[in-house]
Amino acid sequence: MSSRYTVPLRSGAEGPPADLVGGKCAGLLELARAGQPVPRAFAVTVDAFRTLFADPALRAAVGAVLSELDPVDLAVAETVSSEIRRLVSGHPVPAELEEDISAGYRALCAELGQPDVPVAVRSSATSEDLTQASFAGQYDTCLWIRGVEAVLDAVRHCWSSLWTARALVYRAAHGVPDEGLGMAVCVQEMVDARTAGVAMTLNPVNGDRSKVVVEAGWGLGEPVLSGEVTPDHYLVDKVLLVPVRTVVGSKFHELVPAPDGQGLLRRPVDDERRAAPCLTAAEVVEIARLAKQSERCGGAPQEIEWALARDLPAPSGLRLLQSRAETVWSRRRGTAAEVTAESGAAGIARALTGL
């Protein structure tokens, strides 16, 4: 049920504008409405963020610190960021905001039939993925959050991430003003992932749109996204949905839920799994298919984040965590398709014979 400050992100929900729920939440809602396997979630709207900033004392304090920013001096940017984030995270949240966010989380738990369901709390800024700049990865996500108080703390943390040092410097470099910015937050059911990662509906090396690239690691996808591990790399023919190249990465550790269910744990990957592909050929194909469907829904090449549930094979266990437009090659002229050993006639023969 929607409230003043929360909106459910599910297939039957109304489609609020991006300036109310931010680019990430708006994209997830569109994917859910298109029938994509998006984990259940709700958005804390930009109105909640702006209600917090209705306090003139907070606005004045943030403005005073922001006036000291020198985007060329990274040390100063870090200091400004740290002080603003302290001000925002420590500011009292109006009772009506706490009540609505708490009710939204409890409703999600009831829908899933689980008390204190673990969630990912993801920033969804109104400035994300602009045509002239992409803020992907510059705002914060909090993973495996359980309980009302922890969710409220994570929401405040995401609000404050509008002023990470990276975002401050990036906005200054691209001429994006701070005035009028807003931050919604996505509270999304966590997937206990056996394997997770990213996929792109073009080859990021050369812009070839006839390929899908899938990258995967064991456990949750954060080590893949942050570059902490060298993931498995799969190149897939987009038309035939046939894997044409596999490179197994050195996946030295994985991120998994802690044994007590509270928080996450980084643990070493045993030698046998480290040297083995973390996806079967059939799973790679299902992820590539999901990426193609997201591209069709988005109307442009996409970069998706996906997870494969620990106890379920693809496609039933495959979840689409988010999808955003690719912003590098999409601005350039189209490139020639790469011809590989299993493209064209060879790929067709492989698909027909099943070899």
Give domain limits for the chain. 6-189, 193-325
Closest residue by Cα to residue 16 from 105, 124, 136: 124
pLDDT for the residue 14? 60
Cβ(241)–Cβ(289) below 8 Å: yes
Other Cβ atoms within 10 Å of 136 Cβ, number: 17
Tell me which H or E stretch contains 233: strand 232-237
* pTM recorded for the entire structure: 0.85
Is 315's pLDDT higher than 50? Answer: yes
Cβ(224)–Cβ(200) below 8 Å: no
- Which pair of tokens denotes residue 85? 């984030």
pLDDT digits 0-9 by tens, 37-81? 999 999 999 999 999 999 999 999 999 999 999 989 999 999 999
Ramachandran category for residue 25: left, alpha or beta (phi over 0 → left; psi -120 to 50 → alpha): alpha
pLDDT digits 0-9 by tens, 234-251? 999 999 999 999 999 999
**At what angle are helices 148-160 and 74-90 packed, to 10 degrees?**
140
Q: How far is it, in rounded angstroms, from Cα 250 to Cα 269?
A: 10
CATH number of 193-325: 3.30.470.20
Mean pLDDT of 102-127: 93
Cβ(108)–Cβ(41) below 8 Å: yes
CATH superfamily for 6-189 is: ATP-grasp fold, A domain (3.30.1490.20)
Residue 95: helix, strand or coil by DSSP?
helix
Is 103's pLDDT higher than 70? Answer: yes
